[in-house]
A and B are shown apart, each in its own frame.
Chain A
Amino acid sequence: MAIANVRPDLASPDRRSPRGGARPRQNRRRWAYAGTVAIFLLPSLIPLLAFVIGPMISAAWTSLHEWNLIGDMKWVGFDNYAHLLSDPGTQQAFLHTVYYIVGYLPLVYVGGLSLALALNSKLKGRALLRGVYFLPVVTSWVVVALVWRWLLNPSVGVVNYVLGLVGIDGPGWWTDPAWSMPSIILASAWKDLGFVMVILLAGLQTINQDLYEAAEIDGAGWWRRLFSITMPMLSPSTFFVIVLSLINGFQVFDQVYVMTGGGPNNSSQVVVQQVYDLTFRYGQAGMASALSWLLFLVILVVTLVQFYGQKKWVNYA
């Protein structure tokens, strides 16, 4: 019976006989195979349907209603979407989110790339250094945000203390509306630097060293090699970092919630913080669902655009 699994066509010659006996057995085997597939697949498929895909569809339905999580749902069609699109608060939240991404991505990419290049060369103790840079990645956002909230405390924080030592009067950081987003960006870049470094290091290690030797013989300098060999060969990793950073960037929440809660004066209110506030502070679940769907659509479009655009600059070996 088991041998039949390998080559069913050879192992059961009776299958070829026109009638009688063969069909039921073949059917039984097919059902047994389907059963095995189901046993292996359902433990993950059911939770994904129940807790990801199902809720996703149900959120779309909720977004067409006015609902306070407790009472009856009231059909409002696309009113929630119309309201959100014209609501200055929502526009601000999207602007702040984009501000975050625009500040964060270059910082973390250039920083991560410099680190990856530095720690890919033969340095003593580079394993330890890589480890140190990766530490913030394994730490919870809440802890990181708490610590940074404190480091950036305008009066007793270490950062302003150090700035004071060199004669700079430090800003109000997260207590100042103009500096709340930069504070969040700074903490985020610090936390994610190690992750970007590791991805780029993995990419660097797949580059054929012969390319560099050939370039050197041709007289190419360090910068020339960086831009003519490293960057093009690294483009798949760069692409991955950018796609992931944008997906995560649009969803920025933990650090905002802990560091500023969206304040002061809504100066760091981002989209997900608004989804959270709408749901749990103002009891506007329909509106919150509509805003989450808007956010999802934005992320989807941004991600798709990148996948279409990658042919122009990403270089798969």
Chain B
Amino acid sequence: MRNPAGKTILYIAVSVGALVMIFPFIWTVVTSISPGASLTTTPELIPDNPSLAPYAELFQRVPFGQVIVNSLVIAVVSTVFQLITSSMAAYVFARMPFRGRGAIFLLYLATMMIPFQVLIVPLFVEMKSLGLINTYAGAILPTIASAFGVFLLRQAIGTVPYELDQAATLDGAGHFRVFFQIVLPLVRPALATLAVFGFLNTWNSFLWPLIILRDPLMQTLPVALASLQGQYSTQWDVLMAGSVISILPMFALYVFAQKYIVQGVAGTGLK
């Protein structure tokens, strides 16, 4: 776009669009500090008497502290597991040939195409027979292996020069040493990408926690928020306070890892 008039129009268009994108967030924050906001019919961007009362009410109504802990534990543990299990499998698929490896890799890829919903009933039954309903383990176990993660990291390990492994092997390093000391440090960007996506997905995941965590004390943030809506459907200030709390860590993570997210999407080789 060479002509300045066109550039100005473009600029205005993307800025208006950005405003539309960010407006609901601003709105969420404003509402969360305007007690009784649900009663107003005229939108006010500057609250009359801002206060943190909705937050206080939120913690009074729901065991919100516990809910945050639940979400954190589940998201952190499953992200850590995903990083470990995915990087190890990825190392095999990139560096340790054996007969039938291609078929096993295809099996991994196939699991990405199975909609999670097909698994709801049998997985629920399986967890029930294992006595894992209403437990962290029940929520975490189905997420500890990620075919997406294996795929992502295999692509990344593929870019590590083979000569580095060989040099280490000549120095007497076995596969474990090569994996931990050569390969892992070199694929750190990909690991960060997987960490961000893993955390994002488990932190925001809704359907499985909704099903497996029936006890209000075990619920995760999205589930608690959704149930809050059913209970107090008109109290938008309290709801928005909960929303702000659930968004904040994601925003922090996003600002911190923005470049990895974009790289990660671009780097899956799906350009």
Contacts and interface: CB of A to CB of B under 8 A. Distances in A.
Given A43-B145, A56-B114, A250-B115, A48 B108 contact: yes
Interface string A156-170: 101001000000000
Interface stretch (A78-86, A129-137, A176-184): A129-137
Nearest to A121: B1
A48, A132, A141, A247 interface centre (most CB from chain B within 10 Å): A48
A156 B169 contact: no
Contacts of A158: 27, 43
Interface in B83-142: 84-86, 88-89, 91-92, 96, 98, 104, 107-108, 111, 113-126, 141-142
Contact of A151 (B27, B108, B141): B27
B174 A5 contact: yes
Interface string A29-65: 0000110110111011111101111111011001000
B222 interface: yes
Interface stretch (B50-58, B187-195, B263-271): B263-271
B150 to A, nearest CB: 6
Interface residues of B, number: 93
B11 A292 contact: no
Contact of B246 (A143, A222, A289): A143
Interface string B249-262: 01101100010011
B235 to A, nearest CB: 11
A293 B126 CA distance: 18
A221 to B, nearest CB: 12
Nearest to B171: A2
Nearest to B15: A129
A289 B271 contact: no
Contacts of B13: 118
Given A37-B96, A198-B265, A143 B121 contact: no
Given A138-B250, A240-B270, A132 B239 contact: no
Interface stretch (A18-26, A101-109, A296-304): A296-304
In this complex, the interface size class of chain A, counting residues with CB under 8 Å from chain B, is: 35 or more
Contact of B150 (A6, A44, A193, A272): A44
A41 B85 CA distance: 8
Interface in B1-33: 1, 7, 10-11, 13-15, 17-18, 20-22, 24-25, 27-28
A285 B265 CA distance: 37
Given A51-B123, A115-B17, A140 B221 contact: yes
B206 A52 contact: no
Contacts of A134: 254, 258, 261
Contacts of A201: 262, 266
B122 A44 contact: no
B42 interface: yes
A5 B89 contact: no
Nearest to B258: A131
A55 B119 contact: yes
Contacts of B239: 146, 150
B28 A156 contact: no
Q: DSSP class of A's interface residues: helix, strand, loop or mixed?
A: helix
A47 B172 contact: no
Contacts of B60: none
B88, B118, B173 interface centre (most CB from chain A within 10 Å): B118
Contact of A292 (B115, B261, B270): B115
A257 B226 CA distance: 9
B24 A62 contact: no
Contacts of B117: 251, 253, 272, 275, 292, 295
Contact of A275 (B120, B122, B172): B120
Contact of A143 (B96, B122, B125, B225): B225
A289 B174 contact: no
B40 interface: yes
Contact of A289 (B96, B121, B223): B121
Interface string A220-248: 00100000000000001100100000010
A135 B225 contact: no
Contacts of A27: none
A199 interface: yes
B115 A299 contact: yes
A203 interface: yes
- Interchain residue pairs A-B with the least CB separation, the first 3: A202-B266, A55-B122, A140-B204
Interface of A: 2-3, 5-6, 33-34, 36-37, 39-41, 43-48, 50-56, 58-59, 62, 69, 115, 118-119, 121, 123, 129-136, 138-144, 146-151, 155-156, 158, 161, 190, 193-195, 198-199, 201-203, 205-206, 222, 236-237, 240, 247, 250-251, 253-254, 257-258, 272, 275-276, 279-280, 285, 288-289, 292-293, 295-296, 299-300, 303
Given A198-B266, A279-B121, 14 more contacts: A33-B98, A40-B179, A41-B104, A47-B85, A47-B145, A51-B123, A59-B122, A69-B125, A123-B7, A140-B246, A199-B266, A222-B1, A289-B118, A289-B122
Interface of B: 1, 7, 10-11, 13-15, 17-18, 20-22, 24-25, 27-28, 38, 40-43, 84-86, 88-89, 91-92, 96, 98, 104, 107-108, 111, 113-126, 141-142, 144-147, 150, 166, 169-170, 172-176, 179, 200, 203-204, 206-207, 211, 221-223, 225-226, 229, 236, 239-240, 243, 246-247, 250-251, 253-254, 258, 261-262, 265-266, 270-271
